[in-house]
Amino acid sequence: MTDLCQQHGTAVQKASPLEKAAALQDYLDHLQTVTTERSYYTTILKECKDSIITHYTVNGTFAPPPRIQANSVPIKAHYSFEYAQQVHYPSDPLQPGPVFFLTPRKCAIFGVHCEAFPRQVNFLCDEAGDCGKGSNTVISQLHYFFEDHGLGETDVHLHADNCSGQNKNNYMVWYLLWRVITGRHTNITLSFLVVGHTKFAPDWCFGLFKRLFRRTQIGSLRSIVDVVQKSGKCNEAQLISNEEGRVIVPTYDWVTFFAPHFRKMPGIKKGRHLTFSSSRPGVVYTRESADTVTEAHHNLLKEGATFDDHSELPDVITPVGLSAQRQWYLYEKIREFCPAADRDVTCPLPSVPKPTSRQGTPELPSPTQSPPPPAKRPRHCARCKQPGHNSRTCSSST
């Protein structure tokens, strides 16, 4: 009901009588593609769920270990990942009017969902430790999930939306190639949902969280963690950084780390299903749809590139933290809306001097000496044409 494919319906409505048949056929083809991809999605979910439950069920009880080494258990697992819209705190169900025009503290949310439990790990990142929503951040959180929350599977299926800045890019492809090359997985499949039809498992858990969030008074990041934990059995919270900027889940510079080893993939936006295998390291297989029989393949590993040390990781990116302007803004504008117990955590008194309006801005060059304005022309009488008086006081009128 919330899928965003109205452009096809609009095209049918606006098409001329001669073009309406072609527009309607395009709409039907689109719906067929959506049906095929959704069927593939549900089929993979069931296959992976059966594999996990069968392996980890003992005496009728499903109980996987809390932490398992990656690529150590011969099962198939499916994970979906996506960003949710960020939330602001402090937050109150009875929102004070003035705070509507202000910008409270921000918290980004990234979820990785395992449908077999079901369980979703929600990564919470305060803006003090935020490194953006680019490829480095997404890959780092997905890497942490595999290492600390994974099921040890040898084969993994991933589903994501088509956002090129976060998921569908060369850096994500390089990361998955690196995982099979270094023995962290045996086979990986990355699939992208059809544009406009991206509602899947993470949105369910995000909805549970947002529903409780709107009804709860939030004063700190710890309060958001509690809301995630209480919103449903499927939701689990994982802090990336706290209010002080202390990093718990590091963000790595994967872009710089992979650049010397891999080349860019041609036509990356056309493929909807990408497959990676340890039997052919460095090669990615692509299909445009789930029912495509033939696969195209590309060798992205550069000549002579090797990963001798499989435990080597990229350099850690240090968050910039809150600027002085932002710290003082939170202290002066937001602190009064925060519960008293959380004010010194969420909106503490900054330890940096308060910047003035001129601080942090480059000095402008001194203006050049401009010529003096031209002298005003004296007014003249309309009767005698002489300056210094007007027609009312002109003596010639008498």
Residue type for 369, please?
Q
The CA distance from 309 to 178, in Å, is 12
What pLDDT, on a 0 to 100 scale, did the predictor assign at position 363? Answer: 45
Q: How many secondary structure helices (H) and strands (E) does the chain include?
A: 9, 13
What pLDDT, on a 0 to 100 scale, did the predictor assign at position 361? Answer: 44
Q: How many residues does the chain have?
A: 398
What pLDDT, on a 0 to 100 scale, did the predictor assign at position 167? Answer: 83
Q: Please count the structural domains in the chain.
A: 1
Residue 322 lies in a domain: no
Asked whether the beta carbons of 217 and 91 are under 8 A apart, the reply is: yes
> What is the domain extent for residue 221?
68-317
**Chain-centre distance for alpha carbon 69:** 27
What pLDDT, on a 0 to 100 scale, did the predictor assign at position 248? Answer: 92
Cβ-proximal residues to 251 (8 Å cutoff; 6+ apart), any chain: 131, 136, 137, 140, 316, 317, 319
What pLDDT, on a 0 to 100 scale, did the predictor assign at position 275? Answer: 95
Asked whether the beta carbons of 381 and 371 are under 8 A apart, the reply is: no
Residue 171 lies in a domain: yes
CB atoms within 10 A of CB 344: 13
Residue 341 lies in a domain: no
Residue 311 lies in a domain: yes
Could you tell me which of 143, 151, 201 has the C-alpha nearest to residue 176?
Answer: 143
What pLDDT, on a 0 to 100 scale, did the predictor assign at position 362? Answer: 44
Residue 365 lies in a domain: no
Residue 268 lies in a domain: yes
User: How does pLDDT run across 251-276, given as a tens digit for each residue?
Assistant: 999 999 999 999 999 988 888 999 99
Residue 259 lies in a domain: yes
Residue 189 lies in a domain: yes
List of the chain residues with pLDDT < 70: 1-6, 357-372, 396-398
What pLDDT, on a 0 to 100 scale, did the predictor assign at position 3? Answer: 58
Distances (CA, A) of 348 to 150, 218, 327, 328: 37, 16, 8, 9
